[in-house]
């Protein structure tokens, strides 16, 4: 599939983007190992989350959708209630689900084969294999990438682990393994990462201790506890909202209100970055729902100016960097992005993907090992390769609305992994976007 986008102006509308992917994955995982029935409202029905649900169905968990409300009911069987799956668990394109579930399943008394699509099977897993092996997990992998085999163990042993990189997925994998470990598992991180796992564990009644100091944060939990079912309301995904935020900022005479967007402070870095660039963004009706802070986000057309985006910014906006780069291409002056080397091991090498896409549209951009330097100016008509990366596809679809002519984005089929209905929602606010097979 490919997108064809023509210049578009005066974007407007009140919209709600798809549910938060990170929270959706975790709601399924924790609902499955809780005792009782967990009701989840607003879950992302993208291919990644569906893969997570199907994996738990293979392990004996009943998951049903309610026709009237659209809510999902997850019939949890407790921490020790999962069954050995028949056949491999295919996690599709989701690195989040793969790493978190490897942590949960590495302490089970059966063999599990975990795999994914072509993209996922090229992503690094040593970052979880190392700490999980220290806990006693028996993991087989060629070259530290999927597929992996989790061999049965009698039990895991708790460890004190310091994450070598800023990664909520590594932190979460170790904590999930700690649920099945003897003793107290601790994870120390020196940079802020998404805290959805510890928030949700606490919400399910599992005690997580947190010690913060100027050097970082240590989380710890005791193995062998119990989780209890609860109702979850998944907020709109800030990463998905970011595409429409940038769309409103760079197009003329535009105003968009994005409803019920998650603004968790451990992942809302896109907002302060855009504000530094001169964005007219207002957070309205702030409140907390299900333990997660949310707000309605009003965005208006703005004259943007380039800025420096450092590692501390990237850590809180890792998924939004592709669309921030599009905003930088429309800004006056130079934007320098550094400390973003983690982007090279996402669904594509996102530093290279963004640089190549911007160059294809006539933008002056230099590639560095850990980022890029973008000189703002005109975006020209052209054809962009997305490398089958959903965030690259959507970022350059947004670039097309201010181009001098039509922009074609190739390889967009994976958009459904994180944002089903992106095309329809884009058209609803006035973006001239066509999806072509």
In the chain, domain spans: 2-19+235-436, 21-233
DSSP character string of 295-314: EEEEEE----B--EE-HHHH
CATH of domain 2-19+235-436: 3.65.10.10
| Cα 414 to Cα 254: distance, rounded to the nearest angstrom | 28
pLDDT of 216: 87
Distance between CA 329 and CA 343 in Å, rounded? 18
Confirm if 3 and 412 have CB atoms less than 8 A apart.
yes
Question: How many angstroms separate the CA atoms of 30 and 15, rounded?
Answer: 29
| CATH number, domain 21-233, options 3.10.105.10, 1.10.3720.10, 3.65.10.10, 3.40.920.10 | 3.65.10.10
Say what the pLDDT of residue 215 is.
76
DSSP 25-54: HHHHHHHHHSEEEEEEES---SHHHHHHHH
Predicted pLDDT at 213 = 82
Same fold across 2-19+235-436 and 21-233: yes
Per-residue pLDDT, 437? 85
Taking the C-alpha atoms of residue 203 and residue 261, their distance in angstroms, rounded to an integer, is: 20
For residues 56 and 274, the answer to whether their CB atoms sit within 8 Å is no
* 10-residue mean pLDDT series, the chain (437 residues): 96 97 97 98 95 98 95 97 96 96 97 96 96 98 96 96 94 98 97 94 97 90 97 97 98 98 96 98 95 96 98 96 98 98 96 98 98 97 97 98 97 93 97 95
Per-residue model confidence (pLDDT) at position 291: 85
User: Could you say which of 231, 319, 349, 432 is catalytic?
Assistant: 319
Q: What is the pLDDT of residue 49?
A: 96
Spatial separation of the C-alpha atoms in residues 221 and 429, rounded to whole Å: 46
Beta-ladder partners of 233: 41
Does the annotation mark 366 as catalytic?
A: no
């Amino acid at each position: 599939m490919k997108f064809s986008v023509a210049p578009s102006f005066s974007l407007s509308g009140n919209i709600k983007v798809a549910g938060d992917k990170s929270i959706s994955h975790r709601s399924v995982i924790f609902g499955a190992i809780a005792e009782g029935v967990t009701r989840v409202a607003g879950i992302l029905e993208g291919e990644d989350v569906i893969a997570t649900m199907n994996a738990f169905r293979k392990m004996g968990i009943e998951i049903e959708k309610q026709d009237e409300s659209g809510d999902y009911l997850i019939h949890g069987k407790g921490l020790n209630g999962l069954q050995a799956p028949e056949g491999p668990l295919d996690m599709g394109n989701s690195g989040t689900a793969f790493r978190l579930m490897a942590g949960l399943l590495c302490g089970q008394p059966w063999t599990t084969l975990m795999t994914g699509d072509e993209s996922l099977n090229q992503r690094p897993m040593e970052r979880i294999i190392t700490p999980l092996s220290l806990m006693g997990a028996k993991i087989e992998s060629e070259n530290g990438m999927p597929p992996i085999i989790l061999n049965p163990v009698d039990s895991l042993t708790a460890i004190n682990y310091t994450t070598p990189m800023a990664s909520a997925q590594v932190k979460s994998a170790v904590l999930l393994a700690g649920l099945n470990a003897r003793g107290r598992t601790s994870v120390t991180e020196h940079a802020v990462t998404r805290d959805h796992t510890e928030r949700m564990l606490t919400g399910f009644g599992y005690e997580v201790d947190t010690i913060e100091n100027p050097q970082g944060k240590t989380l710890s939990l005791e193995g062998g506890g119990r989780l209890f079912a609860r109702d979850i309301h998944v907020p709109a995904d800030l990463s998905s909202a970011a595409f429409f935020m940038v769309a409103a900022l760079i197009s003329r005479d535009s105003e968009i209100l994005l409803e019920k967007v998650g603004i968790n402070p451990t992942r809302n870095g896109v907002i302060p970055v855009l504000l530094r660039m001169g964005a007219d963004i207002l957070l309205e009706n702030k409140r907390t729902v299900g333990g997660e802070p949310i707000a309605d986000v009003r965005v208006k057309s703005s004259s943007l100016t380039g800025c420096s985006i450092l590692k501390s910014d990237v850590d809180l906006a890792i998924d939004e960097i592709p669309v921030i780069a599009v905003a930088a291409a429309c800004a006056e002056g130079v934007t320098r992005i550094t400390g973003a080397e983690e982007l090279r091991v996402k669904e594509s090498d996102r530093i290279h993907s963004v640089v190549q896409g911007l160059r294809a549209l006539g933008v002056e951009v230099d590639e560095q090992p850990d980022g890029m330097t973008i000189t703002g100016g005109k975006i020209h008509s052209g054809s962009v390769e997305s490398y089958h990366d959903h965030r690259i596809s959507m970022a350059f679809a947004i670039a097309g609305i201010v181009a001098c002519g039509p922009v074609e984005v190739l390889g967009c089929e994976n958009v459904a992994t994180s944002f089903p209905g992106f095309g329809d929602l884009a058209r609803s606010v006035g973006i001239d976007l066509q999806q072509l097979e």
